[in-house]
Amino acid sequence: MEGSSSEEGEDVNWTFYRDREEWADLKPVPQDDGPHPVVAIAYSEKFRDVFDYFRGVLKVHELSERALDLTRDAVELNPGNYTVWQYRRQILKHLDKDLKEEMAFVAEMISAFPKNYQVWHHRQVLVSWLNDASDELQLTAKMLALDAKNYHAWQHRQWAIRTFNLFQNELEFIEKLLNDDIRNNSAWNQRYFVINQTTEFAPEVIEKEIAYVLSKIKIATKNESSWNYLRGIVLHSESGLRKPSVIDFCDELYNSGNRSACLLSYLVDAALEQAEYGVVKENSLLSIDKALELCDNLANEFDVCRRGYWNYISGCLRVHMN
Amino acid sequence: MANLVKDVTINDSHPKTLLLKRHVEYIAAYGNNKEDFEYCMTEYLRMSGMYWGLTAMELMGHLHYMDKAQVIEFISQCIDSSGGISSSIGHDPHLLYTLSAVQILCLLDAVSVLPVDKVTEYVASLQKPDGSFTGDKWGEVDTRFSFCAVACLSLLGRLDAIDVDKAVEFVVSCHNFDGGFGSQPGSESHAGLIYCCVGLLSITGRLHLIDGDLLGWWLSERQLPSGGLNGRPEKLPDVCYSWWVLASLAMLGRLHWVHKQSLERFVLACQDTELGGFSDRPGDIPDPFHTLFGLAALSLLGNGELGKVNPTYCMPQHVIDRLKLRPQVLSV
């Protein structure tokens, strides 16, 4: 579950809202715990106090500076509470606050709670209001440096890039990430995203991408992500999986003794494609017999836990024998 | 380069059999312990928490332990004038909790307490011109919400209130080159979101729009040597992803593409022998969320001690049968 806060209560300088003179006029609203009888709740005094007053301002719909401060305490205690965030935005609008300040605050919150949906959504709303995404690449790069697969960060980055046309240096950024971790599936996905949205899959782009991904496969031949990317790219070429340069690469890898399940499964799928759509360039590796042998190897030796799948594919191949 | 696999190790100290009684006690006690810091921290998702707990109890045959009247009373207090339902009293309505509430009321056969027309109107109001759905009126778009909307309306028998073709079109636009689906067009494939997208296509009878072999293969690739399933390449296995992957494969008619025995062993190893409940991975702290998905995964794997679960709705099959729903399931 996302959005848990740190244990609270260590702050010796904290004054409860109930003890603050400037809040004396507001009636706090205690939590209604729903279906079970209300019992004395022993969880943090601070938490209860803040949310009692939050419910209080919500009830009288107070849109003030002090209510804004209160929502800050509330989201810091529980950033997953979407109602507090929404109310905070209402106050920001109503008071016509300096949104740059709020951007700094939400950046802090993102650092503290990088996998929380609400903090990222708040950021997106602010960027839209400001119509300025100049800090978004840097912010997301910082978060991805801490966790290269943070789905929220990637989603926000894609949104900013697409909305504000920030594609320019993105391939460079991705190459850096892939140099750090060749198995970063998010980075491979981002590569596809950028090409799909910019140059698209013109023949020369396909060639360039194939050369790039093959060079990465050579380094890690069992890397599912790069093989999937290769498949994604060759499907844009006329010869599909049977693309001669790729089959030659596989042939060489296979003959060097490599038996990566990714390599074998690529060859099996290419053989199946050949059986269905015809030969592009003769290669004995793509015969039905060879493919059946590879399925057998996969089911019994290299990828035993997916035996059910390989048996199914064998059945598909056999259909083409008749 | 070495191929180090990110995975966990399961050994003899981990449980091997289903500790049913412990889980019943765990769920029954969960809502009572309001002194718990975690309980109050999760108020913003209370409605989903109740769906996880109640569904788990029903799969274990112990729904009668729960106070149905109080649950129904709580839900009725969470219905907003817009027709949307909130996570808890005094919170804003949201599609996630609207679906949870509808699922609970279907489970309890108490949908009549809902203003069905208003709820339908609320859900329909969240559809955008491109067919996508936002989670609430403030605008976050995600394929999770597409599933929530379609699941919710189908349970209420009101799918006619939205543009189903457009909803399907949006989900298909999130289909990736590797066969999977993400949260938005271009977003990385992710098992949880694949479950949502496949689930939507199952409910709407459009599973033929996807390449079941390609997606089934990607999903079966999620199985790690420990037997557990991860949600994306190079991530650790997790009980909740085990459910999402398995349920998606079940809808695609390809459940047998994973190794069932080792997956079952992984899920059983995630039980907490002392507290009861399931955690994400062996040895971690249990919670109701992973408890439901652990039990649901075991049910799909054919565990005879548990009631049968429906893979599309993650609800007891007998409830789906009572509602006369027939979500599409492929066969190969």
How large is the average pLDDT for residues A81-87?
Answer: 92
Between chains, do B178 and A83 touch, taking CB under 8 Å as contact?
Answer: no
For residue A2, name the pLDDT band (cuts at 50, 70, 90). Answer: very low
List, for residues A102-115, the tens digit of each pLDDT value: 999 999 999 999 99
Assess whether pLDDT exceeds 70 at residue B153: yes
Assess whether pLDDT exceeds 70 at residue A230: yes
In A, minimum Cα distance to B43 occurs at: A81
Tell me the percentage of chain A whose pLDDT exceeds 90. Answer: 87
CA distance B254 to B270: 24
Q: Pick from A184, A196, A306: which is nearest to B220 by CB? A: A306
Of A279, A270, A283, the closest CA to residue A317 belongs to: A270
B248 burial class (0-12, 13-18, 19+ CB within 10 angstroms)?
buried
How large is the average pLDDT for residues A58-82?
Answer: 94
CA distance A3 to A192: 31
What CATH number labels A13-97? Answer: 1.25.40
A196 burial class (0-12, 13-18, 19+ CB within 10 angstroms)?
middle
Tell me the percentage of chain A whose pLDDT exceeds 70. Answer: 92
**CB interface of B with A, residues 124-183, below 8 Å:** 136, 138-140, 176-178, 182-183
CA distance A56 to A61: 8
List, for residues B252-283, the tens digit of each pLDDT value: 999 999 999 999 999 999 999 999 999 999 99
The full DSSP string for B282-310 is: TTSPPBHHHHHHHHHHHHHTT-TTS--EE
Give the count of Cβ contacts less than 8 A between chain A and B.
162
Q: What are phi and psi of B201, to 5 degrees?
A: -70, -30
Q: By three-state DSSP, how is residue A144 classified?
A: helix
The full DSSP string for B125-146 is: HTB-TTS-BBSSTT--B-HHHH
Long-range contacts of the stretch B26-30 (C-beta < 8 A, 24+): B26/B272, B26/B275, B26/B276, B26/B277, B26/B286, B26/B291, B27/B53, B27/B56, B27/B57, B27/B276, B27/B277, B27/B288, B27/B291, B28/B57, B28/B62, B28/B65, B28/B66, B30/B288
How large is the average pLDDT for residues B202-224?
Answer: 97
Interface check for A83 against chain B (CB to CB < 8 A): the answer is yes
How large is the average pLDDT for residues B56-68?
Answer: 95
Assess whether pLDDT exceeds 90 at residue A39: no
Which of A163-167, B66-70, B150-154 is predicted with the least confidence, judged by mean pLDDT?
Answer: B66-70
Give residue B6's pLDDT.
87
Which of A46-50, A203-207, B22-26, B322-326 is predicted with the least confidence, judged by mean pLDDT?
Answer: A46-50
No. of H helices and E strands in chain A? 15, 0
Give residue A4's pLDDT.
40
Between chains, do B1 and A185 touch, taking CB under 8 Å as contact?
Answer: no
What is the nearest CA distance from A192 to chain B, expressed in angstroms? 8
Provide the residue type at B168 as one letter: V
How large is the average pLDDT for residues A245-251?
Answer: 98
What is the nearest CA distance from A280 to chain B, expressed in angstroms? 22
* B227: Cβ contacts below 8 Å, ≥ 6 apart: A305, B10, B237, B259, B261, B262, B263, B264, B265, B266
Residues of B in contact with A308 (CB under 8 A): 220, 254, 256-259
Which of A165-169, A279-283, B86-90, B312-316 is predicted with the least confidence, judged by mean pLDDT?
Answer: B86-90
Give residue B4's pLDDT.
63
Give residue B238's pLDDT.
97
Q: By three-state DSSP, how is residue B242 classified?
A: helix
A182 burial class (0-12, 13-18, 19+ CB within 10 angstroms)?
middle
Residue B290 · residue B240 · CB < 8 Å: yes
Interface check for B74 against chain A (CB to CB < 8 A): the answer is yes
CA distance A20 to A13: 13
CA distance B316 to B104: 11
Two tokens, residue B329: 């399931």
Taking the domains of chain B in order of start, what are their residue ranges?
20-323
The full DSSP string for A3-41 is: -PPPP----TT---GGG-GGGTTS-------TTSPP---
Taking the domains of chain A in order of start, what are their residue ranges?
13-97, 239-321
What is the nearest CA distance from A24 to chain B, expressed in angstroms? 22
Interface check for A165 against chain B (CB to CB < 8 A): the answer is no
A127 CB neighbour count, 10 Å cutoff: 23
Mean pLDDT of chain B: 94
Assess whether pLDDT exceeds 70 at residue A229: yes
Assess whether pLDDT exceeds 60 at residue B249: yes
List, for residues A290-304, the tens digit of each pLDDT value: 999 999 999 999 999
Q: By three-state DSSP, how is residue B223 classified?
A: strand
Provide the residue type at B238 as one letter: D
CA distance A236 to A250: 19
What CATH number labels B20-323? Answer: 1.50.10.20
Give residue A11's pLDDT.
64
B46 burial class (0-12, 13-18, 19+ CB within 10 angstroms)?
buried
Which of A11-25, A301-315, B289-303 is predicted with the least confidence, judged by mean pLDDT?
Answer: A11-25
Assess whether pLDDT exceeds 80 at residue A144: yes
In A, minimum Cα distance to B234 occurs at: A183
Of A286, A291, A172, A184, the closest CA to residue A239 belongs to: A286
Q: Where are the alpha helices (H) located in chain B, listed in sequence order?
A: 20-30, 37-41, 46-59, 68-77, 95-107, 116-125, 143-155, 164-173, 191-203, 212-220, 239-251, 260-269, 288-300, 317-322
Residue B120 · residue B153 · CB < 8 Å: yes
Give residue A48's pLDDT.
87
Give residue A192's pLDDT.
98
ipTM of the assembly?
Answer: 0.92
Residues of B in contact with A159 (CB under 8 A): 184
Assess whether pLDDT exceeds 50 at residue B16: yes
Which of A31-45, A81-95, B290-304 is predicted with the least confidence, judged by mean pLDDT?
Answer: A31-45
Provide the residue type at B247 as one letter: A
Long-range contacts of the stretch B181-186 (C-beta < 8 A, 24+): B181/B143, B182/A189, B182/B143, B183/A151, B183/A155, B183/B142, B183/B143, B183/B144, B184/A155, B184/A158, B184/A159, B184/B132, B184/B141, B184/B142, B184/B143, B186/A158, B186/A162, B186/A189, B186/A193, B186/A196, B186/A197
For residue B140, name the pLDDT band (cuts at 50, 70, 90). Answer: confident
Interface check for B12 against chain A (CB to CB < 8 A): the answer is no
Give residue B231's pLDDT.
96
Assess whether pLDDT exceeds 60 at residue A35: no
Two tokens, residue A5: 């806060």
DSSP state of A298: I
Two tokens, residue B13: 């100290």
How large is the average pLDDT for residues A136-140?
Answer: 98
Torsion sign across C-alpha atoms B285, B291, B297, B298: positive
Q: Pick from A3, A34, A306: which is nearest to B74 by CB? A: A34
Between chains, do A1 and B136 touch, taking CB under 8 Å as contact?
Answer: no
Two tokens, residue B134: 């936002």
Assess whether pLDDT exceeds 50 at residue A9: no
Give residue B93's pLDDT.
92
Two tokens, residue A11: 């702050």
Residue A106 · residue A93 · CB < 8 Å: no
CA distances from A247 to A225, A281, A313, B132 (A): 18, 9, 20, 40
CA distance B93 to B142: 17
Each residue of B137-159: b (16+ CB within 10 Å) or e? Answer: eeebbbbbbbbbbbbbbbbbebb
* A301: Cβ contacts below 8 Å, ≥ 6 apart: none
Provide the residue type at A182 as one letter: I
Give residue B138's pLDDT.
75
Examine the residue annotation and report whether A290 is marked as an active-site residue of this protein. no
List, for residues B81-97, the tens digit of each pLDDT value: 999 999 988 888 999 99
B36 or B173: whose pLDDT is higher?
B173
Give residue B318's pLDDT.
98
Mean pLDDT of chain A: 92
